[in-house]
Structure 1
Amino acid sequence: MKPSVRPILLLFLLAGTGLGGYWLGRKTAPPPSPAPETAAARRPLFYRNPMNPQVTSPVPAKDDMGMDYVPVYAEGLTPSAGSGEAVIHLGPEKVQKLGVRSEPARRRALTHVIRALGVVEIDERRVHAITPRFEGWIERLDVNTTGQPVRPGEVLLEAYSPELVSTQEEYRIAGSGAASRALREGAIQRLRNWNVPESWLRRFEASGEIQRRVPFASPVNGIVLEKNAVQGMRFMPGDTLFRVADLSTVWVIASIFEQDLGHVRVGQTARIGFKAYPDRSFDGRVAYVYPTVTDAVRTARVRIELANPKQLLKPAMYGDVTLQAAETEPVLAVPDSAVLDSGTRQLVLVRLGEGRFEPRPVETGQRVEGYTEIRRGLSEGEEVVTRANFLIDSESNLRAAIGGFSTEPAPAPTDHSMPGGH
Structure 2
Amino acid sequence: MSNEQKPVVSFFQRRAFLLSALGGGLAGLVGAIALPEGWLIAAPAGKAGDGGTTSGKSEAFYACPMFCTRLDKPGTCPVCGMDLERFVDTGAMLELTERERMAMGVKSAPVQRLQLAREIRTLGQFEPDESLDRVVSAWVAGRIDRLYADFTGVTVSEGDHLFDLYSPELYVAHRELKVAQQSLANKTPGADRLVELSREKLRRLGLSAAQLTELEAREATTATFTVPSPASGVVLEKMAREGQYVEMGMPIYRITDLSRLWLMLNVHERDLPFVSLGQRVDVEVSGLRGHHFEGAVSFIDPVLDTMTRTARVRVEVPNVQGLLKPGLFGAATLFAELASDGTLATPSLPGEYACPMHPLQRSDAPGRCRICGMELKKRVPAKGKAAGKVLAVPREAVLSTGKRTLVYVEWWAEREPDGSIRHDHAGNAKKLAQPQYQGFEVHLGPLCSAFHRKEDGTLHKLGDYYPVIEGLPTGVRVVTHGQFLIDSQQELSGKPSLFRPQGGSTDGGHSGH
TM-score when normalising by structure 2: 0.60
**8 Å CA contact 1:118, 1:321 repeated in 2:** no
Residue matched to 2:478? 384
**8 Å CA contact 1:272, 1:283 repeated in 2:** yes
Per-residue CA deviations over 1:250-289 (Å, capped at 9, x if unaligned) read 3333333333433433333333333343434333333333
Provide the C-alpha distance between the structure 2 equivalents of 1:315 and 1:69, rounded to a whole number of angstroms: 59
Q: Which runs of 5+ in 2 are unaligned?
A: 8-12, 50-91, 342-388, 413-432, 450-463, 496-502
Aligned to 1:297, the other structure's residue is in SS state coil
The alpha carbon displacement at 1:153 in A equals 1.2
* Pairing 1:340–2:394 present: no
Out of 389, 395, 407, the residue aligned to residue 504 of structure 2 is 407
**8 Å CA contact 2:407, 2:442 repeated in 1:** no
Aligned to 1:165, the other structure's residue is in SS state helix
Q: 1:357 to 1:60 in 2, by over 3 A?
A: farther
Aligned to 2:220, the other structure's residue is in SS state coil
Provide the C-alpha distance between the structure 2 equivalents of 1:264 and 1:345, rounded to a whole number of angstroms: 27
The alpha carbon displacement at 1:233 in A equals 0.7
Alignment of 1:188-337 (within 5 A): 188-319=199-330, 320-325=332-337, 327-329=339-341, 330-337=389-396
Q: Which runs of 5+ in 1 are unaligned?
A: 1-31, 40-46, 48-58, 417-422
Q: 1:199 to 1:363 in 2, by over 3 A?
A: same
Q: 1:341 to 1:158 in 2, by over 3 A?
A: same
Give the CA RMSD over aligned residues.
Answer: 3.8
Tell me which amino acid in the other structure corresponds to 1:407. Answer: G
Tell me which amino acid in the other structure corresponds to 2:474. Answer: E
Per-residue CA deviations over 1:113-140 (Å, capped at 9, x if unaligned) read 4444343222222111111121111111
Provide the C-alpha distance between the structure 1 equivalents of 2:507 and 2:217, rounded to a whole number of angstroms: 109
**8 Å CA contact 1:350, 1:358 repeated in 2:** yes
Aligned to 1:334, the other structure's residue is in SS state strand
Which one has the bigger helix percentage? 1
The alpha carbon displacement at 1:103 in A equals 0.8
Identical aligned residues as a percent: 28
Tell me which amino acid in the other structure corresponds to 2:17. Answer: P
Q: 1:216 to 1:402 in 2, by over 3 A?
A: farther
The alpha carbon displacement at 1:97 in A equals 5.8
Aligned to 1:313, the other structure's residue is in SS state coil
**8 Å CA contact 2:108, 2:480 repeated in 1:** yes
The alpha carbon displacement at 1:343 in A equals 4.5
Residue matched to 2:156? 150
* Pairing 1:117–2:134 present: no
Paired residues, number: 359
Alignment of 1:65-84 (within 5 A): 72=29, 73=32, 75-76=36-37, 77-80=39-42, 82=44
**8 Å CA contact 1:132, 1:238 repeated in 2:** yes
Residue matched to 1:55? none
**8 Å CA contact 1:60, 1:68 repeated in 2:** no
Residue matched to 2:109? 103
Residue matched to 1:366? 445
Provide the C-alpha distance between the structure 2 equivalents of 1:294 and 1:246, rounded to a whole number of angstroms: 30
Q: Which moved more, 1:179-188 or 1:206-215?
A: 179-188
**8 Å CA contact 1:60, 1:69 repeated in 2:** no
Residue matched to 2:170? 164
The alpha carbon displacement at 1:223 in A equals 0.4
Provide the C-alpha distance between the structure 2 equivalents of 1:166 and 1:189, rounded to a whole number of angstroms: 14
Q: 1:62 to 1:99 in 2, by over 3 A?
A: closer
Provide the C-alpha distance between the structure 2 equivalents of 1:34 and 1:179, rounded to a whole number of angstroms: 140
Aligned to 2:442, the other structure's residue is in SS state strand
Provide the C-alpha distance between the structure 2 equivalents of 1:288 and 1:410, rounded to a whole number of angstroms: 55
Provide the C-alpha distance between the structure 1 equivalents of 2:163 and 2:511, rounded to a whole number of angstroms: 101
Tell me which amino acid in the other structure corresponds to 2:253. Answer: F
Higher relative contact order structure (alpha carbons within 8 Å, sequence separation ≥ 6) = 1
Per-residue CA deviations over 1:58-88 (Å, capped at 9, x if unaligned) read x62758xxx8666742622423364767866
Alignment of 1:26-37 (within 5 A): 33=3
Provide the C-alpha distance between the structure 2 equivalents of 1:210 and 1:415, rounded to a whole number of angstroms: 111
**8 Å CA contact 2:178, 2:216 repeated in 1:** no
Provide the C-alpha distance between the structure 2 equivalents of 1:318 and 1:158, rounded to a whole number of angstroms: 38
Provide the C-alpha distance between the structure 1 equivalents of 2:167 and 2:41, rounded to a whole number of angstroms: 99
Tell me which amino acid in the other structure corresponds to 1:241. Answer: I
Provide the C-alpha distance between the structure 1 equivalents of 2:250 and 2:402, rounded to a whole number of angstroms: 65
Residue matched to 1:7? none
Tell me which amino acid in the other structure corresponds to 2:42. Answer: S
Q: 1:81 to 1:332 in 2, by over 3 A?
A: farther
Per-residue CA deviations over 1:304-330 (Å, capped at 9, x if unaligned) read 333322222222333313243353244
TM-score when normalising by structure 1: 0.71
Whichever of the two has the greater Rg, that structure is 1
Q: 1:187 to 1:208 in 2, by over 3 A?
A: farther
The alpha carbon displacement at 1:385 in A equals 1.9
Aligned to 2:303, the other structure's residue is in SS state strand
Q: 1:184 to 1:96 in 2, by over 3 A?
A: same
**8 Å CA contact 2:41, 2:490 repeated in 1:** no
**8 Å CA contact 1:348, 1:384 repeated in 2:** yes
The alpha carbon displacement at 1:148 in A equals 1.5
